[in-house]
Structure 1
């Protein structure tokens, strides 16, 4: 027997209905904020992610699914969405569009070769947003408000928005120099990944899961002490907007985004429930980025975005015991007796469905009792029984399954009964 690849999952019909409901709600929410959907290829040139995500990241070094195609080109299954969206923005010259900033969202499968654990898959579905073309504290606040709106719209209440500023390019440069000076004397005590990042991306050392309790990390310089006045003002304006929108937040000077192109606002949305014992507490992460477009040979534009996995959202909903209210019923189940009635039901089903009626029938040649049980399992609102007599008299009883009440109508009028 051939089994499913490790780190992937089959989403069976009962669960798929939850996904469809979530995705439909996300599409509707994006309309409120005037964000447009973009769909990029599932695979891209490996160089896009090497440059766009960063050679020093675990994603590029350890987690990407990379292969050579028949043209001997290095191709990678996308591990995240931002790089591909930015590539499309550049390639399609979206900076020239009349409506700026360009507000985009995406939803689709991503691929990372990482250790399987609850809430983490090697193929996962990521929803993300990118607003490109404006460096304005108001749009930072809009994106943060959107994050909260999304999760609250599903009924989640135990949420904590954590924010920080990692400053502009000049502030980051000064901060990185301070980190190198701080870690150099003890870098030999750190893992090999941290050692290799000391001079290439020292902020990534602060994210290290292996040495997170090391005294040098606990006592490392804070980015807030290296923000210039422009960066402080920008962050103060973002917070002012959040206060005016009554969006609660927590400042955390240890929250950084390790990639070189991130600047100014960084944030995470976390589960804030003392009773939650899940392995994953971070639901969503994002930030503002300057320099990414230029890194990918694009114009000097800036953007802000976030992303989260649908799988983690579902976990949070399950943990909170939130019922999505998925509808799982038919309008009508047709019970048949005899070949002539069965043939008629096939035609009738086609007519009903073309008139927007959710309907089905038995295909397993069950007895009447078995067909009625099938109607119950499918949660049909109504059933009708069609046999020789019903066909001859052109009359049927339409039974409401919940109340048990029946109504006699002409067989030829059944479509009108549901419209």
Structure 2
């Protein structure tokens, strides 16, 4: 993607994102699910010290009332930066997005959006927070969080990381219920997030993905064996073991050749006989040595290799 505004540290002209979009539901459960997905992704890539900030921008009616109240607060404020002086009359909501420490100090007594939420928007926000708490997600309510774009409604969130300076958000998103219609599409509610790859790479461990974990290939012979191998593959991945399998109906020789090309350290061979005995053949590719391992113990054995 490309930015129109002036590039700066952490905000490059050309940048890359990992995006998630969920359309068609206004349920707060979907908001929570999207945030849970984001936090799980960041956990798996071993993001270090970070904070999840959450706010609600309310519906357009809530925002209109809040902008009026914020505009009155800002009208006679002195010392705002040049951008904020312009924004307080054109779009006062954008003043809250200013990164200037001086402007933030001036805004410490400004009105907050939560006080302007109607009953439906407030109930929606409280339900999102309740679900995040239920699943053990640590968050901070950020009453001045508005995100950098005007189409956001209701839930808005950011994940900020230590060590990035003023531009510290590595991911962010929220609801944009009116955006599809505004662009000429159907009137669909929607929520999503974007992870900034460039910023994320600055704070991830340098050795991420460079460990000595073993690669495992599952060679399945027959439909029943493929079904079992597919379930085993998901279990292995959840345990942190890198695994692959072939979804075609290839011969064992062809699958072993594929395992070799993929650089597998071990191959698990599962056929009808292995399903009957409950034991799979585990072959070490470098030496050709092979042993039988109980199917129920395979995840534990492979994770310990």
**Please, what TM-score do these two structures have when normalized by structure 1?**
0.48
Tell me which residue corresponds to 1:323: 208
1:265, distance to aligned residue in structure 2 (A): 0.6
Which of 173, 182, 188 aligns to 2:64? It is: 173
1:326, distance to aligned residue in structure 2 (A): 6.3
Tell me which residue corresponds to 1:193: 83
**Please, what TM-score do these two structures have when normalized by structure 2?**
0.65
CA offsets per residue over residues 31-69 of structure 1, 9 Å max, x none?
xxxxxxxxxxxxxxxxxxxxxxxxxxxxxxxxxxxxxxx
CA offsets per residue over residues 59-83 of structure 1, 9 Å max, x none?
xxxxxxxxxxxxxxxxxxxxxxxxx
Q: Secondary structure at the match of 2:33?
A: helix
User: Are the structure 2 counterparts of residues 165 and 214 from structure 1 closer, same or farther at C-alpha, using a change threshold of 3 Å?
Assistant: closer
CA offsets per residue over residues 368-387 of structure 1, 9 Å max, x none?
xxxxxxxxxxx9x9xxxxxx
Tell me which residue corresponds to 1:115: 7
Q: Secondary structure at the match of 2:110?
A: coil
Q: How many correspondences in the alignment?
A: 231
Tell me which residue corresponds to 2:182: 295
Confirm whether residue 147 of structure 1 aligns to residue 38 of structure 2: yes
Provide structure 1 residue ranges, at least 5 long, that are not aligned to the other structure. 1-109, 329-351, 360-378, 382-401, 406-419
Output the CA distance in 2 between the equivalents of 1:308 and 1:214. 25
Tell me which structure has the larger Cα radius of gyration: 1
Output the CA distance in 2 between the equivalents of 1:242 and 1:211. 30
Q: Secondary structure at the match of 2:171?
A: strand
Output the CA distance in 1 between the equivalents of 2:117 and 2:191. 19
1:258, distance to aligned residue in structure 2 (A): 4.8
Q: Tell me if the contact between 1:203 and 1:258 (Cα under 8 Å) persists in the aligned partners.
A: no
1:260, distance to aligned residue in structure 2 (A): 3.1
Alpha-carbon RMSD: 3.5
1:212, distance to aligned residue in structure 2 (A): 4.3
1:200, distance to aligned residue in structure 2 (A): 3.0
Provide structure 2 residue ranges, at least 5 long, that are not aligned to the other structure. 214-253, 266-285, 288-305
Q: What are the residue-to-residue correspondences of 1:273-284 with 2, within 5 Å?
A: 276-279=162-165, 280-284=167-171
**Structure 1 residue runs of 4+, over 6 Å off?**
none
The higher relative CO (CA closer than 8 Å, separation ≥ 6) is in 2
Stretch of structure 1 that moved more, 282-291 or 172-181: 282-291
